[in-house]
Each structure stands twice: as structure tokens, then as C-alpha cells.
Amino acid sequence: MSDALKAAARLIADARRVVALTGAGISAESGIPTFREAQTGLWARFSPEALATPEAFAAAPERVWAWYRWRRSLIARGGVNAGHRALAELGTQVPLEVVTQNVDGLHTAAGSPDVAELHGNIWRERCTACGHESSTAIIDHPGDDLALPSCAQCNALTRPAVVWFGETLPVDALTTAEAYIREADCVLVIGTSNRVYPAAALVEHALRGPASVIEINIETTPISGSVAVHLAESASHALPQISRRIKARA
Ligand code: OAD
């Protein structure tokens, strides 16, 4: 085990309260594409303007729903990976809350109980007319030829309950995330490029101290030079090792 991993495990074990702030990188090993990586990232292959804005949905709801159904199918097929599982396990070892930019629902599926979903959840739908919300379980992809979904209460068109470009974040999730970060003395930033606000601002707040910030990312990001420990490893490799190390110390 590297010295950096040992140092990270020590900071986490000694913390009073830990927050894990996650991004697409923790789900990458479930076969779910990230957003900004060259070649493979979703925004390298698809236009956000055509798929992830209220205007795109108003103009072509079939196209937008087809894309979200495709993404649901990737999530259902990939399921939770060793990184999600280890983070849930870590939550049984130390007081830990999760703030995620991911919409895949995989932290909850892995057993993490306290998850603030800053960008919504792809398995939830919201009615465009009455606002009623409903959710679908993480199941196998139901197929491409489905009709547009409609609200169980008023029959109007529903939309994925995710945050699109130009929209504000869900107030509850953001308020919860801010409180988690304020209270934490150790912040674990996992698999995010730290380029999207306001999530990146939560990390910037933590970096101003007194919390120690640990980053797990296979690449460097704008915060890598400022963190207490940067683990240049995949989440599914680093997190199980940290959890095992803390278990061995207990
Ligand atoms: P990005 O695609 O911007 O960044 C993913 C990060 O994960 C990169 O820094 C990778 O180096 C890292 N990474 C990849 N595989 C990894 C692995 N196995 N272990 C650890 N790190 C790994 O994704 P986000 O930062 O999550 O928003 O993007 C933030 C938001 O931008 C998304 O929530 C989405 C997007 O636009 C909305 O859709 C609202």
C-alpha cells in the first residue's frame, strides 16, 4: 500500500465527520461514460444543447427521452461497482455522508444511506404540467420503442428529474450538501473534474480549511495541487484499500 493511501486512510479514520463528493469517475468502472474525458466522454460525442436543456426537450422530447433511456440502460447493465460498495462500507466505519453530481442512483443502490443528489436522479420523472414526481426502480432497459411517458395524475408529459443546462439545482439537495461540507473535517473528492459549479464551489469552500481534502482521480484536476492527499488511482482500487486499512486499524 502506498504512503499516500496510508495517509488518506489515517485522515479518514481520525475525522469526526467525512463527506465524499463524487462525480462521473466513480461510476466509470460500471461502464457508464463520464462527461469530459476526450473521446469517451458524453460531451465529446453528444451535444449538450441538443439533449440536456429545457429548450431541447420542448423541441424534441422523443430524442431527449431516447437518450435518457439509453443512459438508464447503461446504468442498469453496469450496476454498482467496487468503488460504490467500498464507499458504502466506509460509511459503516466512520460518520460519512455523500454528495454526488451523478444522477445514476448507484450510491443508494450500493447502500449509502445519506446521499445529496445535486443534479437529480435519472430514475425519477417529473410531470411538466403538475410537477408530480414518480420513480422507476433500476431495472433492465425497457426498450427504445416506448411511447413518451405520461403523468399518473394528470396524463401530461413527464421529464427526467435531472438538472439540465440553464436550470437551478434542487434547493434541498444543495442546502443539505452545503451543511454536510460545513460540518465535515475531512472531504473526499472522488472522480470529478471539478469544473462544474456549484459543486466545484463546495470543494473550493472545503479547501479554504480547516477540513482536510483528499482527492481520488486517475487524472489531475484544478484542485490536485491544493489537496492534502491526491491519490492518482481509480476509485474502485483506492476505496476498498482505504476501507480495509481502516478495518485493520480498528
Ligand atoms: P467529468 O466527466 O467532468 O469528470 C470525470 C472525472 O473522473 C475526470 O476527472 C476523470 O479523470 C475521473 N475519472 C475517470 N475514471 C475514473 C476512475 N475510475 N476513478 C477515479 N476517477 C476517474 O464528470 P463530472 O465531474 O462528474 O452535469 O461532471 C460534472 C457534471 O458535468 C455532471 O454531473 C454533468 C456534467 O455536465 C449535468 O448533467 C447537470
CA of 28 to the centre of ligand 1 (A): 8
So what's the pLDDT on residue 42? 86
Residue nearest atom 26 of ligand 1, based on CA coordinates = 23
Residue 246 has what pLDDT?
95
For the segment 159-182, the average pLDDT, to the nearest whole number, is 97
Q: How many CB atoms lie within 10 A of CB 7?
A: 15
pTM of the model: 0.95
Distance 121 CA to ligand 1 centre (A): 16
Ligand 1 binding pocket includes 196 (Cβ within 6 Å): yes
Q: Whole-angstrom Cα distance, residue 67 to residue 51? A: 7
Please name which of 26, 41, 81, 4 lies closest in space to residue 191, comparing C-alpha atoms: 26
Protein residue with least CA distance to atom 25, ligand 1: 192
Of 85, 192, 230, 236, best ligand 1 pocket probe by most atoms within 8 Å of the beta carbon: 192
Characterize 180-203 residue by residue with b for buried, 16 or more Cβ atoms within 10 angstroms of its Cβ, and e for exposed.
Answer: bbeebbbbbbbbbbbeeeebbebb
How far, in Å, from the CA of 212 to the mean position of ligand 1?
21
Model confidence at 43: pLDDT above 90? no
Q: Sorting pLDDT into bands at 50, 70 and 90, what band is 141? A: low
Q: How large is the average pLDDT for residues 28-40?
A: 89
Query: Given a cut of 70, is residue 142 above it in pLDDT?
Result: no
